[in-house]
């Protein structure tokens, strides 16, 4: 009898302790707002995924250091729960279901890349959970009528269209008619690069420029020598390439090998392809679009100027030599979330969505204002040119720190 | 749109007719890259013929060779020199993989060996991704280029060297298989492993050696590819596909045909890229394979009918 009683007492005690623990756990969790993300930690995009998550973490750390986010008089810290999507869109979608259903997370940070983002959006849309993404630029993401997705970056059709604009400007200056300019181009056959291509095609139409070579590179082909031979024969004034890191590497290397040049040469992914260190002289004069550059005169109250952000991030992350824009835009997303939480003064997802939609703020990454489709329409793409092994902003003229070198000199 | 495509196709053919010098450029590029395909395909044909294992990880062996070359060159070894130690290392790697995996599936059915090498391919890709990172890499050979016809035709010296090395390696392989005792044992095993065993050939050793030689050849091809193209942990599949196309088109056990087919494939790819656009480069090759297979099937049927 005695034993039984003591057992019951012990059990009750244990239950009480467990309840207390559970309660304290809940209390701690209540002071933290957890954002969720399925991001590429392994697989093809592991490097880019690391860039994005480093940017997210850096943003969260800074917001927390500055006292977190105050909602209705209560202070919250931010935290992020990550899952590895293995660089496969199907996995991204599965993991988001898990994040939303099992982990009960109601605030989503985007994955890396247009493919995974395309897979993520229908899931967040289904559960009416807001997602702010920084790494999916494909135009097609913003034609589906998604209500709960917002993007900090410029869309991919704007990547190389400023090149055509610049070319027209330069042609006029040197007494040529923009419609006399011929374009030779090669784009990889994937959604991102084809968006970039569409931007160029539309812009070229505007100026009446003729596209003389328009090839699409297969995904697993690292040879464009046939295309370049055609370019050599037809001598266009403008060359445009986009095919991720491989495309930039292949184009730069084979242009040099085959002695191909034009007045204007532009391509995406110059930095991730490490053109300046891999090819030095052969990369001179190439124009590279970027979402963000540390020399731009943007600033905010969290990170200070673009240059301040650059310095602070490099000091915290010794493994980086430069700050890729993928990092900067991820940090900007955290700022957007913090701003929306403050304005909404609520943790309700509907109220947060409306607050996000009304975002109109300056950040170190540029101005953020979303269109009805969710893309950021307030920040332009900037063009940089490789001059003496450095990336220098040359267009739009408003932000240029050096004049553009035109026509491009053939590398020796 | 379709009219436009045909018009631009016609324009491109016009260029080749009015400025024939560009044909030379296409041939040079095609032959130099065909030579590298020939190496990968030759190794595949060898393993396929002798052990009847179809190595789906062929392209990943090529990539691994490229990465070993990359690592050596980072430590100051010139890529051309690096070919020798990379070949040796890849030989050892091939031996290890044979002992660990291939030996266990060699006697089993086709499906098992396909699955095993497919699994090996995935594992190799992921391990390379973890060790070397997902960045696209190239090797700098430091050589210049030959300008011909007033700069209308250019070829890098490294492509010429690569072509020469592929030729030397191919000739060495043919001589080895024809003349040496081990080469004869390899050929005997390919013809009939049981008879070879009865006659005292150590077939297990022959299998191991064949697989290791293939691995070494792939390694050499990898270093060359890193010098003329790019390497990345997940780009191996392109070489696996090409090697399979070449071996299938050339017919098994016909080594000279493998080399001719590989060179032809390189040139055809260039012409397809020039006339139809880069997007049709590989599609053309695979369509050709289809035509060859259908044609061969028809020939066989006629043969069978004649026999009946």
Question: Would you tell me how many other CB atoms lie within 10 Å of the CB of residue B218?
Answer: 33
What is the spatial distance between Cα A361 and Cα B158, in angstroms, rounded to a whole number? 53
Any idea what the Cα angle at residue B280 is, between residues B247 and A182, rounded to 5°? 145
Among B31, B134, B272, pick the best mutation site for testing chain A contact (most A Cβ within 10 A): B134
Q: List the structure tokens of A365.
A: 């990454």
> Who contacts A381 (Cβ-Cβ below 8 Å, separation ≥6)?
A154, A158, A159, A162, A289, A290, A291
Closest CA of chain B from A231, distance in Å: 10
For the cut 60, the answer to whether the pLDDT of residue A6 exceeds it is: no
**How much is the pLDDT for A20?**
46
Share of chain A above pLDDT 70, in %: 92
Q: Is B70 on the interface with A (CB under 8 A)?
A: no
Q: Which domain holds residue B22?
A: 2-307
Cβ separation B238–A220 shorter than 8 A:
yes
**How much is the pLDDT for A25?**
42
Q: Is A57 on the interface with B (CB under 8 A)?
A: no
What is the spatial distance between Cα A214 and Cα A210, in angstroms, rounded to a whole number? 10
Please name the residue that has the structure tokens 């998550």. Answer: A53
What is the spatial distance between Cα B38 and Cα B15, in angstroms, rounded to a whole number? 29
Q: What is the pLDDT of residues A311-335, one digit of tens each?
A: 999 999 999 988 988 999 999 999 9
Q: Is B301 on the interface with A (CB under 8 A)?
A: no
What is the spatial distance between Cα A83 and Cα A96, in angstroms, rounded to a whole number? 9
User: A38 near A85, Cβ under 8 Å?
Assistant: yes
Cβ separation B278–A273 shorter than 8 A:
no
> Any alpha helices (H) in chain B, and if so which ranges?
2-18, 21-51, 58-74, 79-97, 103-105, 110-132, 157-179, 181-191, 193-198, 203-228, 236-250, 255-275, 281-307
Segment A126-142 shows an average pLDDT of: 93
Question: A304-332: buried (b, 16+ CB within 10 Å) or exposed (e) per residue?
Answer: ebbbebbebbeeeeeeeeebbbbbbbbbb
For residue A387, give the H/E element and its range.
Answer: strand A382-387
Partner residue opposite B278 with nearest CB, options A227, A257, A274 = A227
The domains of chain A, with CATH numbers, are 31-154+295-369 (3.40.50.2300), 158-290+382-399 (3.40.50.2300)
Q: Is the dihedral of CA A346, A351, A353, A357 positive or negative?
A: negative
Which band of pLDDT confidence, cut at 50, 70 and 90, is reported for residue A8? Answer: very low
For the cut 70, the answer to whether the pLDDT of residue A28 exceeds it is: no
List, in sequence order, every beta strand (DSSP E) within A248-297. Answer: 264-267, 287-290
Across the A:B interface, residue pairs with CB atoms under 8 Å apart total 115
The DSSP code for A302 is T
Domain tally, chain B = 1
Q: Is B23 on the interface with A (CB under 8 A)?
A: no
3-state secondary structure of B166: helix
Residues of A in contact with B140 (CB under 8 A): 278
What is the spatial distance between Cα A275 and Cα A271, in angstroms, rounded to a whole number? 6
Strand order in the sheet with A238-242: A210-217, A182-188, A238-242, A264-267, A287-290, A382-387, A390-395
Q: Is B29 on the interface with A (CB under 8 A)?
A: yes
What is the spatial distance between Cα A382 and Cα A394, in angstroms, rounded to a whole number? 8
End-to-end CA distance of chain B: 51
Among A49, A88, A225, pick the best mutation site for testing chain B contact (most B Cβ within 10 A): A225
Q: What is the pLDDT of residues B250-277, one digit of tens each?
A: 887 778 889 999 999 999 999 998 998 8
Which of A32-36, A41-45, A283-287, A392-396 comes out lowest in average pLDDT? A41-45
The CATH number linked to B87 is 1.10.3470
Nearest CA in chain A to B268: A226
**How much is the pLDDT for B155?**
87
**How much is the pLDDT for B2?**
54
What is the spatial distance between Cα B248 and Cα B289, in angstroms, rounded to a whole number? 8
Give whole-number Cα distances, B301 to B247, B250, B290, B306, B307, in Å.
21, 19, 17, 8, 10
Partner residue opposite B138 with nearest CB, options A216, A226, A278 = A278
Cβ separation A46–B151 shorter than 8 A:
no
3-state secondary structure of A295: coil
Q: What is the pLDDT of residues A297-315, one digit of tens each?
A: 899 999 999 999 999 999 9
For the cut 70, the answer to whether the pLDDT of residue A14 exceeds it is: no
Cβ separation A249–B281 shorter than 8 A:
no
Q: What is the pLDDT of residues B14-27, one digit of tens each?
A: 888 887 888 999 99
Cβ separation B29–A226 shorter than 8 A:
yes
**How much is the pLDDT for A189?**
85
Partner residue opposite B234 with nearest CB, options A44, A47, A186 = A44
**How much is the pLDDT for B107?**
83
What is the spatial distance between Cα A254 and Cα B90, in angstroms, rounded to a whole number? 28
User: B44 near B244, Cβ under 8 Å?
Assistant: yes
Q: Give pLDDT tens digits along chain B (308 positions).
A: 456 677 778 888 888 888 788 899 999 999 998 999 999 999 999 999 888 899 999 999 999 999 999 999 999 899 999 999 999 999 999 999 999 999 999 888 889 999 999 999 999 999 998 899 888 888 887 788 888 777 778 888 888 988 998 889 888 988 998 899 999 999 999 889 999 999 999 999 999 999 999 999 999 999 999 998 889 998 898 899 889 989 988 887 778 889 999 999 999 999 998 998 888 888 888 888 899 889 988 988 888 888 87
Residues of B in contact with A232 (CB under 8 A): 22, 25, 152
Partner residue opposite B281 with nearest CB, options A218, A258, A278 = A218
User: A196 near A156, Cβ under 8 Å?
Assistant: yes
The backbone region for A310, taken as left when phi is positive above 0, alpha when psi lies in -120 to 50, beta otherwise, is: alpha
Q: List the structure tokens of A275.
A: 């053109």
Q: List the structure tokens of B26.
A: 């296409």
Q: Beta strand pairing status for A287-290 and A382-387? A: antiparallel
């Amino acid at each position: 009898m005695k034993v039984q009683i003591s057992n019951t007492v012990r059990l009750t005690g244990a239950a009480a302790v467990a309840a207390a623990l559970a309660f304290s756990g809940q209390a701690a969790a209540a002071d933290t707002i957890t954002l969720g993300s399925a991001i590429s930690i392994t697989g093809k995009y592991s490097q880019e995924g690391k860039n994005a998550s480093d940017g997210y973490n850096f943003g969260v750390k800074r917001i927390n250091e500055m006292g977190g986010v105050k909602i209705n008089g209560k202070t919250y810290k931010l935290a992020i729960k990550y899952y590895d999507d293995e660089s496969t869109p199907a996995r991204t979608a599965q993991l988001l279901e898990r994040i939303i259903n099992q982990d009960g997370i109601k605030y989503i940070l985007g994955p890396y890349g247009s493919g995974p983002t395309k897979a993520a959006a229908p899931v967040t849309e289904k559960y009416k959970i807001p997602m702010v993404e920084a790494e999916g630029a494909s135009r097609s993401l913003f034609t589906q009528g998604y209500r709960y997705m917002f993007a900090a970056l410029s869309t991919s059709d704007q990547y190389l269209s400023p090149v055509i604009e610049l070319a027209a400007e330069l042609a006029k200056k040197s007494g040529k008619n923009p419609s006399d300019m011929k374009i030779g181009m090669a784009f990889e056959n994937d959604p991102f690069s084809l968006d970039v291509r569409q931007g160029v095609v539309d812009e070229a139409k505007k100026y009446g420029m003729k596209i003389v070579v328009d090839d699409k590179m297969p995904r697993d082909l690292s040879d464009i020598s046939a295309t370049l031979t055609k370019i050599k024969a037809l001598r266009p004034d403008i060359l445009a390439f986009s095919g991720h890191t491989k495309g930039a590497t292949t184009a730069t290397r084979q242009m040099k090998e085959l002695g191909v040049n034009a007045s204007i040469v532009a391509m995406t992914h110059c930095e991730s392809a490490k053109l300046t260190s891999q090819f030095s002289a052969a990369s001179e004069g190439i124009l590279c679009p970027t979402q963000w550059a540390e020399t731009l005169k943007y600033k905010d109250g969290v990170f200070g100027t673009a240059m301040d952000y650059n310095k602070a991030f490099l000091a915290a992350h010794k493994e980086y030599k430069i700050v890729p824009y993928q990092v900067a835009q991820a940090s900007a997303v955290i700022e957007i979330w913090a701003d929306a939480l403050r304005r909404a003064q609520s943790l309700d997802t509907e109220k947060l969505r409306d607050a996000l939609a009304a975002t109109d703020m300056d950040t170190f990454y540029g101005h953020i204002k979303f269109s009805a489709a969710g893309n950021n329409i307030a920040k332009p793409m900037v063009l940089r040119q490789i001059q003496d092994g450095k990336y220098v902003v040359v267009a739009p003229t408003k932000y240029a720190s050096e004049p553009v070198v035109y026509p491009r000199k053939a590398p020796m | 749109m379709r009219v436009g495509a045909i018009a631009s196709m016609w324009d491109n053919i016009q260029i080749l007719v009015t400025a024939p010098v560009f044909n030379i450029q296409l041939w040079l590029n095609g032959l130099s890259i065909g030579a590298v395909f020939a190496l990968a395909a030759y190794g595949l044909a060898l393993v396929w013929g002798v052990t009847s294992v179809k190595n789906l990880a062929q392209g990943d062996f090529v990539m691994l060779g490229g990465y070993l070359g990359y690592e050596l060159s980072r430590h100051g070894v010139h890529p051309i020199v690096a070919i020798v130690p990379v070949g040796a290392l890849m030989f050892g790697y091939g031996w290890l993989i044979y002992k660990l995996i291939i030996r266990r599936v060699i006697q089993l059915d086709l499906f098992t060996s396909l699955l095993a090498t497919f699994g090996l391919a995935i594992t190799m890709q992921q391990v390379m991704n973890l060790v070397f990172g997902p960045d696209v890499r190239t090797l700098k050979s430091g050589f210049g280029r030959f300008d011909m016809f007033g700069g209308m035709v250019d070829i890098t010296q490294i492509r010429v060297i690569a072509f020469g090395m592929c030729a030397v390696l191919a000739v060495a392989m043919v001589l080895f298989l024809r003349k040496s005792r081990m080469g004869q044992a390899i050929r005997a095993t390919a013809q009939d492993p049981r008879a070879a065993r009865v006659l005292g050939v150590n077939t297990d050793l022959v299998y191991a050696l064949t697989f290791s030689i293939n691995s070494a050849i792939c390694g050499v091809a990898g270093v060359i590819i890193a010098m003329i193209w790019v390497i990345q942990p997940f780009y191996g599949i392109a070489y696996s596909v090409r090697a399979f196309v070449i071996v299938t088109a050339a017919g098994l056990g016909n080594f000279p045909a493998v080399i001719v087919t590989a060179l032809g494939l390189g040139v055809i790819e260039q012409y397809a890229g020039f006339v139809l656009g880069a997007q049709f480069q590989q599609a053309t090759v695979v369509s050709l394979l289809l035509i060859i297979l259908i044609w061969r099937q028809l020939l066989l049927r006629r043969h069978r009918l004649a026999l009946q």
